[in-house]
Structure 1
Amino acid sequence: MKKHKFIHQRRPQWKKFEQFLRQVSSRSLSKLPADKISTFSQLLREISHDLATIRSRGWGHELTSYLNDLVARGHNLFYSAPPTNFARFYRYLAADFPRLFRANIGYFLIASLLFFLPMGVSWCVVQNKPELASRVIPEEYLSQFDNMYGEEGGLNSDTENTTEGNTDSEESEDSETDSFGDQRATMAGFYINHNVGIALKCFALGVLLGLGTVYTLLFNGIFLGAVSGYIISQGNGDRFLSFVISHGSFELTAIAVAGGAGLMLGNAIIHPGQRTRFQSLQVRGLEAVQIAGGAAAMLVVAAMIEAFWSPADIPNIVKYSVGSGLWLIVFLYLTFAGLQSDRRLPSQHSLSNSPQQGDQHR
């Protein structure tokens, strides 16, 4: 079948589905009659098939982008309709989030470049010339890092303090054990608040045409790289790296993921296509929010590891082994989790071809 004939035959269904999307909100889809939901599901499958056909025959980027956008919106509407519950939350973390991450991986790659490249550069520069650290890091912070990671410093000082006086009495031991647990819980709460705050800042500032996200990624990358380079230049690399390797897998990756979500918001405003910028934010913003939520969940995991595992008095070789395994787990999770959902709606993969793809609705 030729292109023009195919478009002429299928366009009414596309317009019908587009009108359906305009009329139905994610909260009301589940309240529709069963026949309406069935019609919606059928149209979604048909348009997914149309998109696969058009892409395989190379019938134009604009048409592909238009249908890809319809499928993405339909998929978001369909899967966001059920009420929130534990099963839905589990599905989101196990399948939906990593699938959406891969579908929009172009944004993540750009965010990673903006975050990890400055980090690596500042790390190398400060490690070779530690006197430059004071240009990025306040002097009081440098003193704190020396105390924390120096030979007489105390990453594990709270652990050591809880062991003093164990021979005095069982009551003292119980009290110190409770204190240790309270300290760890307090640390976990602090790390969650701090780390999630960074991720949400990377995401939310995307509404400033993406410039806020770019600045936040660059600033944190340079700062963290300078901190790492300075600590290692002072001969405390082993203590520092063994401390950060485990939670860093979730933490650093999540910051880049949140940054990618922020860039999605910025791109939706800059390239709204034929929509208004507010409409573009509504369409692309849903996916961005879901991706940012996944990044926040990763940061909660990172905070727990940082509070309860990273400062524990455990041989460094064990921490390096576990930390390497956690980096591998993060990679496998983002790469392979939810692949079954990807196969069910393969059209979503085209979103990963370009950060702008799916935003140009023609």
Structure 2
Amino acid sequence: MREVAFIKQNKQKWLNFEKTIYNNQFKNPDELSSLYIQLMNDLSYAQTYYPKSKTISYLNQLAAAAFQRIYRTKRTKTNRFISFWKTEVPLIMFEYRRYVFYAFLIFGAFITIGAVSAAYDDSFVRLILGDGYVNETLENIEKGDPVAIYKSGSNWGSFIGITVNNLYVGMLCFVFGVFGGIGTGYVLMVNGIMIGAFQYFFYDQGVLWESVRGIWIHGSMEIFAIGIEGAAGLILGASILFPKTYSRMASFKMGLKTGIKILISTFPFTFMAGFLEGFVTRYSNTMPNWLSVGIILVTLGLISFYYLIYPHIVHKKLRTHVPTI
């Protein structure tokens, strides 16, 4: 069968399936399970005969959405909290993985702009970071402790203050997506340029390694989380600009719900980053290199695995196993 005929034959069924899934119109879990099996059959057929078709991506998205609904209505003793982190969030991340790519691409571009601007304009770092921060850090560098600024205040005070600020930035990154994603881009721009200028400043002073082994103890999770929150904001913006087959309001509600779930999923990592900044980073100049580097690699590996690798593992299980209700 030609792909055009295959699509024409099943298009209406798939559109009805979309409405059934996203509007919760199924009468019982058995009906949903039956629809899911039909969809998986169509997906398998498309993968066999049209391996390079966009139809596969479309059916994958429907399958992921159906899988979430099935797990949400399964009559098991599975803890809802556990299933949220173990299944629901990873499937969302897989479905919207291109938005994660867009967010990190935008974020990375602005980090580069910040570093290049600092390299070609001596006044740029002071403009972005402020005279107070620059002067204090220069004094600390002269004293042999470039990251001494992170040792001010109490452990708990630093932890709470930093965590609240990071949560605020993450929420802004998501909520500003309501402006068609432009607001999210602005938040990523501000933070990206600041990070780029910040790191170049330490490089220019000849203490890049000292800054990396200290600041990125907490920065790995902190910065990565902002990228994920940026993806949530872009999803919200896209739901308004590109409603597809739904009304704009219905699409917005789905985008809002999806984005909130992604935002919530970053909170544990934000709390962990705040804890590390308040209780660990301040001791970076006294700990051996292997320990600081180890913490950086473990934290970066953990958050990267959860958002970039684990979603593919969960999705693979989705394709090879049809759950029963």
After TM superposition, the score normalised by the length of structure 2 is: 0.81
Residues 264-303 of structure 1 mapped to structure 2, 5 A cutoff: 264-303=235-274
Moved more, 274-283 or 261-270: 274-283
**Which residue matches 1:242?**
213
**Which residue matches 1:354?**
none
The structure-2 alpha-carbon separation of the partners of 1:243 and 1:75, relative to structure 1 and needing over 3 Å to count, comes to same
Query: 1:315 aligned to 276, 279, 288, which one?
Result: 288
CA distance in 2, matches of 1:49, 1:288: 30
CA distance in 1, matches of 2:166, 2:87: 23
The structure-2 alpha-carbon separation of the partners of 1:156 and 1:62, relative to structure 1 and needing over 3 Å to count, comes to closer
Moved more, 301-310 or 89-98: 89-98
**Which residue matches 1:204?**
175
Amino acid in structure 2 at the alignment position of 1:204: V
Amino acid in structure 2 at the alignment position of 1:280: S
CA distance in 2, matches of 1:132, 1:207: 31
CA distance in 1, matches of 2:300, 2:67: 30
CA distance in 1, matches of 2:269, 2:86: 12
In the alignment, structure 1 segments of 5+ residues that lack a partner are: 162-179, 348-362
**Which residue matches 1:359?**
none
The structure-2 alpha-carbon separation of the partners of 1:20 and 1:237, relative to structure 1 and needing over 3 Å to count, comes to closer
Amino acid in structure 1 at the alignment position of 2:133: Y
**Which residue matches 1:324?**
297
Q: CA deviation at 1:43?
A: 1.2
Q: CA deviation at 1:328?
A: 3.1
CA distance in 1, matches of 2:265, 2:128: 30
Amino acid in structure 2 at the alignment position of 1:57: Y
Query: Does residue 254 in structure 1 map to residue 225 in structure 2?
Result: yes
Cα deviation, 1:13-60, whole Å, max 9, x if unaligned, reads 5466445446638xxx8xx7xxx2122122123213313323543399
CA distance in 1, matches of 2:157, 2:185: 31
The count of residues paired between Structure 1 and Structure 2 equals 317
Q: Is the 8 A contact 1:130 1:230 kept in 2?
A: no
Residues 1-362 of structure 1 mapped to structure 2, 5 A cutoff: 14=14, 17-18=17-18, 20-21=20-21, 24=24, 36-58=28-50, 67-68=59-60, 70-81=62-73, 87-127=79-119, 129-147=121-139, 149-151=141-143, 155=147, 183-312=154-283, 313-346=286-319
CA distance in 2, matches of 1:111, 1:293: 17
Q: Is the 8 A contact 2:146 2:211 kept in 1?
A: no
The structure-2 alpha-carbon separation of the partners of 1:92 and 1:244, relative to structure 1 and needing over 3 Å to count, comes to farther
CA distance in 2, matches of 1:15, 1:115: 35
CA distance in 1, matches of 2:20, 2:190: 44
CA distance in 1, matches of 2:41, 2:142: 61
Amino acid in structure 2 at the alignment position of 1:290: K
The structure-2 alpha-carbon separation of the partners of 1:116 and 1:63, relative to structure 1 and needing over 3 Å to count, comes to closer
Cα deviation, 1:209-251, whole Å, max 9, x if unaligned, reads 0100111111110012112222332344343222112222211
The structure-2 alpha-carbon separation of the partners of 1:45 and 1:301, relative to structure 1 and needing over 3 Å to count, comes to farther
**Which residue matches 1:168?**
none
In the alignment, structure 2 segments of 5+ residues that lack a partner are: 321-325
The structure-2 alpha-carbon separation of the partners of 1:144 and 1:53, relative to structure 1 and needing over 3 Å to count, comes to farther
Q: CA deviation at 1:62?
A: 7.6
Greater Cα radius of gyration, structure 1 or 2:
1
The structure-2 alpha-carbon separation of the partners of 1:110 and 1:12, relative to structure 1 and needing over 3 Å to count, comes to closer
CA distance in 2, matches of 1:40, 1:283: 19
Amino acid in structure 2 at the alignment position of 1:45: I
Amino acid in structure 2 at the alignment position of 1:24: N
**Identical aligned pairs, as a percentage?**
21
CA distance in 2, matches of 1:88, 1:39: 22
